[in-house]
Amino acid sequence: MQFLLTLLICWLWPAPYKPTPEMRAMHRAHLEIRSEYELPAQRLDPHCCQIAQKWAEYLAETGRFHHGGGEQIIACGIGDEQLAFALWVGSRPHRAWLLSDADFCGWGSAKSANGLTYWAGCFRKRELP
């Protein structure tokens, strides 16, 4: 429910995030995977980054680990973005998102009080109006 509210707020009042170094690192890891499959790059999108970052922050804050709806992938663990991508590539449904025909993607990560990092990815097909 909170994710849907966040998604609605992001849609109605778009103040997209400027991608952070962490988001750019995740995007580079994602592009490497897509190039291994000879797929075109997906563009890093500030709106998708905002959705992914808010969801990662929510997961880290609550300690809960679940999908909130929408086009997203999530992972949790101790490590860097390479761990998240290893988990996603090893899962057929998550890998399908990484290799999808979406045109845009966004990434987020947040560390919880107990030291776990939560990662999230968001994808969409076309440009927002």
| 10 within domain boundaries | no
| 129 within domain boundaries | no
Q: What is the rounded distance in angstroms from the CA atom of residue 8 to the CA atom of residue 108? A: 18
Task: For 93-118, write each residue's pLDDT tens digit.
Answer: 999 999 999 999 999 999 999 999 99
| 105 within domain boundaries | yes
CATH number of the domain within which 88 lies: 3.40.33.10
Structural domain harbouring 108: 18-124
Tokens of 72: 């997203």
Q: What is the pLDDT of residue 112?
A: 96
pTM attached to this predicted model = 0.83
Q: What is the pLDDT of residue 56?
A: 94
| 48 within domain boundaries | yes
Residues in the chain with pLDDT values less than 50? 1-13
* DSSP of 64-80: -----SSSEEEEEESS-
Q: What is the rounded distance in angstroms from the CA atom of residue 21 to the CA atom of residue 62? A: 24
| 107 within domain boundaries | yes
State how many domains the chain has.
1
